[in-house]
Amino acid sequence: KAPLAAHRDMYLNAGGEVIPGLSINGPLAAGIPGQPAALAHIAQHYGRLPLADTLAPAIELARNGFLVDAYYQRMVRFRLPQLQRFPAAAQQFLQHNEVPVVGHRIVQPDLAFTLEAIAQKGAAGFYQGEVAEKLIAGVRQAGGIWTQKDLDQYQVVEREPLVGHYQGHRIVSVPPPSSGGVVLLQMLNMLQALDIEQHSPVQQTHLLVEVMRRAYQDRAHYLGDSDFVEVPVPRLLDQGYAQQRAADISPQRASVSPPMAVSTEKGSDTTHFSILDTSGNRVAATLSINYPFGSCFVVPGTGILLNDEMDDFSTKPGTPNAYGLVGNEANAIAPGKRMLSSMTPSFIEHDDWLAILGTPGGSRIISMVLLGALETMQGKEVDAWVARPRFHHQYLPDVIQFEPDALSTDIQQALANKGHTLKALSDTYGNMQAIRWDKKNQRVSAAADPRGLGTAQVE
C-alpha cells in the first residue's frame, strides 16, 4: 500500500516531470509490505500449522545461508550501483561491496531475527515492537516517509476471485488491485469471439497480439485499486463488450496503438507458487517486491529488503514505468491505496481436471498466463504449458516482444507484412509453476519453468 504520507505527484519535479529512479530505488520507492500480515492471516484462518513451524525452514536458510550461483550474480549485476548505495544491502547481498563469486555464502542473521519475531508474535512481530521501530527509523533516516500509523493500519483484504468461461472451462483468477484476472479474462473473451482455434498459426499469433493490445489498453485506462476508484469490472468482462472490442481487428493489418488518452476523471522481483494438497486444497500464490532486489534498500538491523512496488502506480498519467506500462488516473498514487499489479495467479477448472498456474514477470505476467492457459485448455501436458515459447504485446510500446526462437522467420515476416513492429529479445523470460490434477484418473502432474530455478514435486 502507498504510505499515508504519499501523494499523487510525489515522484515529479517542480516542472511536473518524473524524477528518474525515485519510484524504483531507495526507501521512497517502497510500499507498506503486506506479506507478514498475509502469512499470519493464512496461518490463522487456513493453515493447520503455526507460523513457528512454517517459518522454520526460512529462518534456517537466513541463519545458515545459501550459495551464490550464476543467476544470483546476474541479478546483482543488474542492480549493483543501487545495492552499493545502501550499506545494509551491500553488507547482506554483496561480497566486499562487489558481485559475490559463485559459491559465496549469503547469510542473513538480521533477517533470521525478524522472521523469529514473526514466528513468535505473528503480524505484531513485524508491524509493532522492536522490528517496527527499526523499520520506521531506518526508512525515515534514509529519506523515506513511513510512519508507525502505516504499519498499524495495514490490513489484509480477502476478495472474491473473478470467474470467467472459455470453451467449457471455468477460469478463476485474481481481482483488482491486480490487473491480472481482468486482463486475462478479457483476452479469453475476445479470443472466444474470434474463434481463434480455426485460424492458421500466423493468423493465431496476429489475433493474439491484437487481443493483448486491446486488453492492455483497457488496463492502462481503467484499472486501479477498486477500494479507491470505480473499476468497471462487469463491463470489461461482458461478452458483448469483448465482441465490440474485437470487432475492429483486421485480419490483414496490425492496428496502431492510439496514444494514451490521459483522463483526469477520478475514476523481476516476483515469485509464484502453485500448490495442491491431498485433500484437494489448492493455492495459486504470486508475491512481488517488483524489481530484482526490490528498492535495493535493506532496513538496518532488520534484514528486510524493501520492495519498490510504488513504481507499479502510474507516477504520471501516460508516462511509462519500469516495465514500459502506462497508466491513468485510476492508478494514480493516493495515501493508503494499493498499486496496480499484473500478478495473475489462476485456476482453470474442467469437469475432469483442474489446473493451477502463475508466473513472475512484471507486465508480461498476464500474456504468459494467457499463452499457458491456452495450452492447458488444448489438452497439452503440464510441461508444455510452462515451456511454451512466449511473445507479448502490452498496447504501448506498440511492439511485439518475443523470446529467441519463439516466432519462426516465416511468422515474423508474415507479421511484419501485416504492419506489426517486432522486437526480438536477447533472453527468455518468466518462471511459470503449474500443476494439473486429473480427477478422473487421480493423477497429479507438475512442472516448473525450464527457464527458471524452481522445481516441481509430486509426493
Residues belonging to the active site: 270
| 407 DSSP β-pair partners | none
Helix (H) or strand (E) holding 46: none
Residue 248 falls in which region: left (phi positive, over 0), alpha (psi -120 to 50) or beta: alpha
With a CB cutoff of 8 Å and minimum separation 6, the contacts of 140 are 146
Closest approach, Cβ 22 to ligand GLY, in A, equals 17
365 phi/psi in degrees, rounded to 5: -55, -45
Of the candidates 274, 288, 367, 431, which one interacts with ligand GLY according to CB under 6 A? 288
**225 lines the binding site for ligand GLY (CB under 6 A):** no
Closest approach, Cβ 251 to ligand GLY, in A, equals 32
Closest approach, Cβ 456 to ligand GLY, in A, equals 23
- Of 53-61, 72-80, 113-121, 338-346, the segment contacting ligand GLY by CB under 6 A is 338-346
Q: Residue 392 in contact with residue 361, Cβ under 8 Å? A: no
CA pair distance 379, 386, nearest whole angstrom: 13
**284 lines the binding site for ligand GLY (CB under 6 A):** no
Q: Is the peptide bond before 161 cis (omega within 30 degrees of 0)?
A: no
Closest approach, Cβ 232 to ligand GLY, in A, equals 21
SS3 of residue 274 by DSSP: strand
CA pair distance 100, 94, nearest whole angstrom: 6
Q: Which three cell numbers stand for residue 121?
A: 508474535
Write out the binding residues for ligand GLY, residues 398-437 only, by CB under 6 A.
Answer: none
**108 lines the binding site for ligand GLY (CB under 6 A):** no
Say how many residues make up the chain. 459
| Closer residue to ligand GLY in complex, CB, 288/295 | 288
Closest approach, Cβ 288 to ligand GLY, in A, equals 4
Of the candidates 270, 315, 412, 433, which one interacts with ligand GLY according to CB under 6 A? 270
**359 lines the binding site for ligand GLY (CB under 6 A):** no
- Count residues near ligand GLY (CB under 6 A): 9
> Nearest-CB residue to ligand GLY?
341
Q: Residue 389 in contact with residue 411, Cβ under 8 Å? A: no
**341 lines the binding site for ligand GLY (CB under 6 A):** yes
Cα separation values, 91 from 81, 97, 450, Å: 14, 7, 32
Of the candidates 82, 114, 186, 290, which one interacts with ligand GLY according to CB under 6 A? 290
**217 lines the binding site for ligand GLY (CB under 6 A):** no
**362 lines the binding site for ligand GLY (CB under 6 A):** yes
Q: What share of the chain is helix, strand, coil (3-state, %, to 5)?
A: 40, 15, 45
- Of 44-52, 79-87, 204-212, 339-347, the segment contacting ligand GLY by CB under 6 A is 339-347
Of the candidates 185, 188, 191, 343, which one interacts with ligand GLY according to CB under 6 A? 343
**302 lines the binding site for ligand GLY (CB under 6 A):** no
Q: Among candidates 383, 430, 376, which has minimal Cα distance to 402? A: 430
**312 lines the binding site for ligand GLY (CB under 6 A):** yes
439 phi/psi in degrees, rounded to 5: -70, -30
**23 lines the binding site for ligand GLY (CB under 6 A):** no
Contact residues for ligand GLY, defined by CB under 6 A: 270, 288, 290, 309, 312, 341-343, 362
